[in-house]
Amino acid sequence: MDSLSIVILAAGQGKRMYSSLPKVLHPIGGQAMLSRVIRTARSLKPQRLIVVYGHGGEQVRQAIPDPDILWVQQSQQLGTGHALKMALPQLPTTGQTLVLYGDVPLTLSDTLQRLIAAAADGVAVLTDTLENASGYGRMLRSADGKLQAIIEDKDCTPVQRAIREINTGMLVLPNIQLNRWLAALNNSNAQGEYYLTDVVALAVAAGVSVNSASVSASWEAVGVNNKRQLAELERILQSQQAQALLDAGVTLADPARIDIRGTLQHGMDVAIDVNCVFEGVVELGDQVSIGPNCVLKNVKVAAGSQIAAFSHLENAVVGSDCRIGPYARLRPGAELADHTHIGNFVEIKNSRIGSGSKVNHLSYIGDAELGRQVNIGAGSITCNYDGVNKFKTVIGDQVFVGSGSMLVAPVILENGATIGAGSVINQTAPAGQLTLARVRQVTLAGWRRPVKK
Ligand code: UD1
Ligand code: CA
């Protein structure tokens, strides 16, 4: 097969997004629209991948640090034909070029493969048929069904405007003709733009075959011009992801109330309650259950663990058969061994918790190392920060920390140490002994409550 080049047009301003972020960088499913289009393009294994950028160019290039992309600037947006012309010096004189749009994020690789095949050594345009075709270029066909031209909405006669077959904008062109065709484009049309769509009539005139392929569903060709369309496509993508999870055996309390902004890998018999958000790469082992309203970002949860309602986990690792939450927070670097319990209003940061250990109520554990079968009483915290530096707390196996204790790091609690409730510990607590650090209780004899004067 001939070599394939792909040009992604992404120079449009996106004024209607009302955003300082360039349009193609707005995320869908947690990934910039342009990154998605690039990923789809890559799946077709092109020899060359070119992105035509314009507004917010530097920001776009920095957000997509892919060394294999050829970036081409179009400083003035004079139309899609002009945009492709900017890429011409980067294109070989043989093979095919597939044109994609940076703001059409959900096109399927399979569909593009069909389009490429339909082109053979001529032209192929990806089309759709819509109830309401307004705004789109219309496909003009002869009586025998052969494509003749694409007429832009603003240039249509009333009869042409009634045509419901539309141009999605994606098309395949033979490189050998590109130089000639792009040079022949003019801007004498309703919008004063150089229309790439005019190449269809040029191809017909040159006797080059012009074919079409159609999308499998309309969302494949929907572009994003405003936040409304962005939100619509987001829902479509999320619904597809949820259906795929159901098909793979995951139990979802409601497929309309789950958001995956990245990838969610799972074992068997995983159950996810409503309103959970998964970001980055999340892995859930067999029999894991996630309660309602949880957020998991770059998290690995091993088999049999339960994450209860309203828990927030980020860059954390949870072992097997753990009980987390409700209302637990695992921050970056939290690593829980098997059978650990992290309860309500507990925050764990950059700490390793040994197997069978429990931190069940209202605690902060930061920069700490906990052994096995440790019990941290309610309201106990590691004081790991002096305002400038952070220090480590080391807690041995089977340590019991009484409620309301302050562990002032750097500090070590040796194996089997017991800390009396309400202690402020800033020196080593020796193994196997009770250590207390609190003021002794006194009762003042003869004391009377004050009375109102
Ligand atoms: C284009 C098609 C139209 C099709 C529609 C599908 C042309 C002339 N018209 O119209 O037939 O139905 O898409 O959505 O091609 N771009 C540049 N540089 C430019 C102009 C556009 O990079 O100078 C990029 C935009 O960023 C966008 C894409 O090309 O990604 C399409 O541009 P847009 O202005 O949205 O095209 P339409 O006028 O909607
Ligand atoms: Ca336009």
What pLDDT was estimated at residue 12?
86
CATH code, 372: 2.160.10.10
What pLDDT was estimated at residue 13?
81
Q: Is residue 108 part of a domain?
A: yes
Ligand 1, closest atom to CA 53? 22
Active site residues: 361
Given a cut of 70, is residue 2 above it in pLDDT? Answer: no
Q: Is residue 446 part of a domain?
A: no
Ligand 1, closest atom to CA 104? 30
pLDDT tens per residue, range 150-178:
999 999 999 999 999 999 999 999 999 99
Q: Is residue 253 part of a domain?
A: yes
In terms of domains, do 58 and 144 share one? yes
What pLDDT was estimated at residue 57?
84
E-strand ranges in 326-451 read: 328-330, 335-336, 341-344, 346-349, 352-353, 358-361, 364-366, 368-370, 375-376, 381-383, 393-395, 400-401, 406-408, 411-413, 418-419, 424-425, 434-435
With a 6 Å cutoff on the Cβ, whether 196 touches ligand 1 is yes
Q: Which two tokens mark 17?
A: 């997004």
In terms of domains, do 374 and 420 share one? yes
Ligand 1, closest atom to CA 13? 26
In terms of domains, do 246 and 163 share one? no
In terms of domains, do 74 and 164 share one? yes
In terms of domains, do 213 and 327 share one? no
In terms of domains, do 139 and 30 share one? yes
pLDDT tens per residue, range 6-63:
999 999 888 999 999 999 999 999 999 999 999 999 999 999 999 999 977 889 999 9
Q: Which ligand is nearest to the CA of 136?
A: 1
With a 6 Å cutoff on the Cβ, whether 30 touches ligand 1 is no
In terms of domains, do 54 and 165 share one? yes
In terms of domains, do 190 and 320 share one? no
In terms of domains, do 12 and 49 share one? yes
**Degrees, nearest 5: CA angle 293-296-297:** 145
Minimum CA distance residue for ligand 1 atom 11: 137
Q: Is residue 447 part of a domain?
A: no
With a 6 Å cutoff on the Cβ, whether 214 touches ligand 1 is no
What pLDDT was estimated at residue 146?
96
Q: Is residue 359 part of a domain?
A: yes
With bands split at pLDDT 50, 70 and 90, how would you rate the model's confidence at 245? very high
Range of the domain at 125: 4-221
Q: Give the number of domains in the chain.
A: 2
pTM of the model: 0.94
Q: Is residue 112 part of a domain?
A: yes
Q: Is residue 453 part of a domain?
A: no
Q: Is residue 448 part of a domain?
A: no
Given a cut of 90, is residue 265 above it in pLDDT? Answer: yes
Q: Which ligand is nearest to the CA of 185?
A: 1
In terms of domains, do 290 and 169 share one? no
In terms of domains, do 134 and 268 share one? no
pLDDT tens per residue, range 61-102:
999 999 999 999 999 999 999 999 999 999 999 999 999 999
In terms of domains, do 133 and 240 share one? no
